[in-house]
Structure 1
Amino acid sequence: MFKLKEYNTNVKTEILAGITTFLTMVYIVIVNPIILSDAGVPFEQVFTATIIASIVGTLWMALGANYPIAIAPGMGMNAYFAYSVVGSHGGIDYQSAFAAVFIAGLIFVILSLTSFREKLIEAIPGNLKHGITAGIGLFIAFIGLRLTGIITDHPTNLVALGDLHSPSVVLALIGLAVTLVLMVLGVNGALFFGMIVTGIVAYFTGELSFKEGFVAMPHLPEGLLIANPIAAFGDVIQNSLYAVVFSFLLVTIFDTTGTMIGVAQQAGLMKGKTMPRARQALLADSFGTSIGAMFGTSPTSAYIESSAGVAAGGRTGLTGLTVAILFIIAAFFGPLVGAVSGISAITAPALIIVGSLMMGAVSEINWSELDEAFPAFLVILSMPLTSSIATGIALGFIAYPLMKVVKGKAKEVDPLLYLFAVLFLYQLAFLPH
């Protein structure tokens, strides 16, 4: 079913890769409820909805597209939901905001059933694809460094070296060293085993504890939030949430597409400019977004943390299936998952190392031609500096056709790039991002 021999992998490697991906992204089941609870949504509601959306999206990706890419509610869009839509959009309550997410998800499904998103992937120039891969790598490495305090905020230089004596930094450096040694020695599953060693150290040094116990039954305090699609349309129209729907749609399309390209390229699964089974893959986050909104969570997205599993050897949907099964189990171990995911030093080394591996894509960029190199450079630079994959993609999409036009190569640019350059200009200028 997963064609393991064709992709030169095996069951053990795929399961270890799935565990690695899960451990690097499981923080979302804690962080997402914390953010959305600021919008008034019950913590338990979002916790369960987050897991449901992740299971649905990841299972579709695994079984329908056979990719080692996990789906879960996206960071950034949850903050937009909580603080821009519910927080300041004319007194909109979270039920109406979820209606907007649901409608965006339905439109997403329709677009994914057409050849539109497939054509979009093929239309993206190779140098931009390499820039997206490298930019995501730099971004997740930066996240790993900041989560642990190795890098901290600085009033003048924006960032600076953190306190190397703090427990979090020391633990992260130990984990980084152990994981790097294992990788240099060629140990399969080095990223996963590095997390295990780091977790053990954290437990015996008192940084990791389980004060809230281990097990709790998942539940939905408010039941199904979106049960009637017609009523959801009515909410959007009544509250004039068209711009909100467009924002959710535009950002998630490019966030997910960019991440899929980056992870697929890292795994060696791209066939030239084409992503095989792209339509099936692109449906995963569409369904995840719609179903997640019904239960009470913000839009889903392909997760850049999937690259950690790819680096651990994941190449097929068996990796994703493992992630989905672990999410099912996690639903019954909320306190335990919360304790582990609360120690960023356990998972941060994997993000840093994977980031370094993905940065290798810069060697594929044609640096000798400025009209090709600069848009890619802009993507790489802006992703970590704006903390947004979508913003990096937007700036690259705007810069690329502009530079081609100036150089007299306007006909070489796919018409879709011109269309989205205009849409991105509008989004950056007038919509939240």
Structure 2
Amino acid sequence: MLSRLFQLEEHKTSVKTELLAGMTTFLTMVYIVVVNPIILADAGVPFEQVFLATIIAAVVGTLWMAFAANFPIAIAPGMGLNAYFAYSVVGANEAVGYEVAFGAVFISGILFIILSLTSFREKLIEAIPSNLKHGITAGIGLFIAFIGMRLTGLIVPHPENLVSLGDLQSPQVMLALFGLTVTIILMSLKISAALFLGMVITGVAAYLFGMLSFTEGVASIPSNPEWFIFGSPLDALVNVIQYGLYAVVFSFLLVTIFDTTGTMIGVAQQAGIMKGNKMPKARQALLADSVAKTVGSVFGTSPTTAYIESSAGVAAGGRTGLTTLTVAVLFIITAFFSPVVGAVSGIAAITAPTLIIVGSLMVGAVSHIKWNEFDEAFPAFLVILSMPLTSSIATGIALGFITYPIMKIFSGKRKEVHPLVLIFAILFAIQLVFLPH
């Protein structure tokens, strides 16, 4: 039955291969159930709420991908966007609580669903300069790595230079450095579950040295998660208008569109799914992410995205939705181990190495920027520089969008600027000058 349902013979794969591929993908991305609650906790969101919401969003999106698109691409709350949610949307504005921010995620999710059902998504993707896309990815990566180093005390505030090196003899910093060393060794050995295994080994070290304890046991029955924590859909819309969160909604929408589309195309090419320059069932695949994003916001997590870690499962032979069905089932099983995840999430040194390494992988996007063309390179550079220094992904995107058309126009390359980019530049300029951000 599984063979017919997922067309295994047509894709030249087997049930065994797909199950092993699903386990591989799951092990490479399961770190998110630990890291996501840690980051969103800084926005005041209760651990249990984020833990269950992370799993619900991952299961919904991944099952949609499995049955509607039959793709081996897993969905879960994305790194970078959770940091933006916690530190730029909630942390930078005392008037905006996490409930209001989840409403903004919900609105952007609804817009993403609508765009996924129309051709506007393709037009929007084509409109944004590729160098800005790469700059956004790299800037988010640098911001994530910065957060990872700050959480563990590897870097600390400095009165004159903003930040400086922390106390390398403190137990927390030593544990983080141990975890980072172990994980990069595993990465160098090309072990597919390196990020997850790195956290496990670091957690064992923390337990042996008395830094980690499991006072509430190992497993438990999941509680009933609260839902619609932002109120009703109408409340979400009213709050976006009241608090002027237009740039926030746009940032959530923009990053998820580019991140998801780019990841899907890359993994689909690796799996041999692409037909020329087109991806079959692209609409269903994009709906998987947009629906998961919307559902996740209802239960209390930041936006979802297609996971590049899915490439590990594809490398293991995954070609169909049976791979992602396996991932979804494993996420459901994980829901019964919240005490373990809760204990681990209380020690930043266990998870911070993952943030730093994921950040380094995202910064790799700078290699695609046209550095020899100043009017292309500088806007991307400004995006990368301003995200960590302003602790705001939205500000970085805004500055990039504003400077790009200015430089192109005065370089005599007005025709290279898409009208949508001009519109976004004006909207971002108004937002930075007149609206709270």
Query: TM bucket by the smaller chain?
Result: 0.7 to 0.9
C-alpha change, 1:125 and 1:320, in structure 2 (3 Å) is: farther
Counterpart-to-counterpart distance in 2, 1:384 and 1:5 = 45
1:68–1:318: 8 Å Cα contact kept in structure 2?
Answer: no
Q: Partner amino acid for 1:407?
A: S
Counterpart-to-counterpart distance in 1, 2:415 and 2:403 = 16
Q: Partner amino acid for 2:95?
A: S
1:57–1:284: 8 Å Cα contact kept in structure 2?
Answer: yes
Matched, 1:259 2:259: yes
Structure 1 residue corresponding to 2:95, chosen from 88, 92, 95:
88
Aligned counterparts, 1:405-416, within 5 A:
405-416=409-420
Q: Partner amino acid for 1:88?
A: A
Q: Residue 70 of structure 1 corresponds to which residue in structure 2?
A: 76
Counterpart-to-counterpart distance in 1, 2:265 and 2:136 = 10
1:105–1:286: 8 Å Cα contact kept in structure 2?
Answer: yes
Counterpart-to-counterpart distance in 2, 1:27 and 1:12 = 24
- Cα offset, 1:257, TM superposition: 2.7
Structure 2 residue corresponding to 1:20, chosen from 14, 28, 49:
28
- TM-score normalised by structure 1 residue count: 0.78
Counterpart-to-counterpart distance in 1, 2:165 and 2:351 = 19
Counterpart-to-counterpart distance in 1, 2:226 and 2:199 = 36
1:288–1:299: 8 Å Cα contact kept in structure 2?
Answer: no
C-alpha change, 1:320 and 1:289, in structure 2 (3 Å) is: same
C-alpha change, 1:280 and 1:374, in structure 2 (3 Å) is: farther
RMSD: 4.0
C-alpha change, 1:262 and 1:45, in structure 2 (3 Å) is: same
Q: Residue 400 of structure 1 corresponds to which residue in structure 2?
A: 404
Counterpart-to-counterpart distance in 1, 2:265 and 2:157 = 32
Q: Secondary structure at the match of 2:156?
A: strand
Q: Residue 106 of structure 1 corresponds to which residue in structure 2?
A: 110
- Cα offset, 1:403, TM superposition: 1.0
Percent identity between matched residues is: 53
Counterpart-to-counterpart distance in 1, 2:42 and 2:224 = 16
Structure 2 residue corresponding to 1:427, chosen from 406, 420, 431:
431
2:43–2:98: 8 Å Cα contact kept in structure 1?
Answer: no
Deviations 1:379-403 (A, max 9, x none): 2212222333333222222221221
C-alpha change, 1:343 and 1:98, in structure 2 (3 Å) is: closer
Q: Residue 390 of structure 2 corresponds to which residue in structure 1?
A: 386
Aligned counterparts, 1:28-427, within 5 A:
28-29=36-37, 31-32=39-40, 35-37=43-45, 48-61=52-65, 64=68, 66=71, 67-71=73-77, 74-77=82-85, 88=95, 102-220=106-224, 232-233=233-234, 236=237, 241=241, 244=244, 246-260=246-260, 263=263, 269=269, 276=279, 279-295=283-299, 297=300, 299-302=302-305, 306-307=307-308, 321=325, 324-427=328-431
Decide which moves more: 283-292 or 170-179. 283-292
Counterpart-to-counterpart distance in 2, 1:93 and 1:165 = 35
Counterpart-to-counterpart distance in 1, 2:122 and 2:86 = 26
C-alpha change, 1:264 and 1:379, in structure 2 (3 Å) is: farther
- Cα offset, 1:324, TM superposition: 3.8
2:57–2:76: 8 Å Cα contact kept in structure 1?
Answer: no
Counterpart-to-counterpart distance in 2, 1:431 and 1:34 = 24
Deviations 1:334-378 (A, max 9, x none): 221111222232232233233333333323322111101101111
Counterpart-to-counterpart distance in 1, 2:169 and 2:309 = 27
Decide which moves more: 60-69 or 385-394. 60-69
Decide which moves more: 194-203 or 75-84. 75-84
Q: Secondary structure at the match of 1:159?
A: strand
Counterpart-to-counterpart distance in 2, 1:298 and 1:69 = 13
- Cα offset, 1:410, TM superposition: 0.9
Q: Secondary structure at the match of 1:211?
A: coil
2:53–2:301: 8 Å Cα contact kept in structure 1?
Answer: no
- Cα offset, 1:159, TM superposition: 1.3
Deviations 1:249-269 (A, max 9, x none): 312112323433665587685
Counterpart-to-counterpart distance in 1, 2:190 and 2:236 = 55
Counterpart-to-counterpart distance in 2, 1:240 and 1:406 = 35
Q: Secondary structure at the match of 2:218?
A: coil
- Cα offset, 1:118, TM superposition: 2.6
Aligned length: 416
- Cα offset, 1:114, TM superposition: 1.4
Deviations 1:78-134 (A, max 9, x none): 56776789x637xx995x886665455333322221122232222222222332332
Q: Residue 3 of structure 2 corresponds to which residue in structure 1?
A: none
- TM-score normalised by structure 2 residue count: 0.78
- The unaligned stretches of length 5 or more in structure 2 are 1-5
Q: Secondary structure at the match of 1:340?
A: helix
Counterpart-to-counterpart distance in 2, 1:261 and 1:407 = 31
Q: Partner amino acid for 1:233?
A: L
1:57–1:71: 8 Å Cα contact kept in structure 2?
Answer: no
Q: Partner amino acid for 1:74?
A: N
C-alpha change, 1:24 and 1:45, in structure 2 (3 Å) is: closer
- Cα offset, 1:174, TM superposition: 1.5
Q: Partner amino acid for 1:331?
A: A
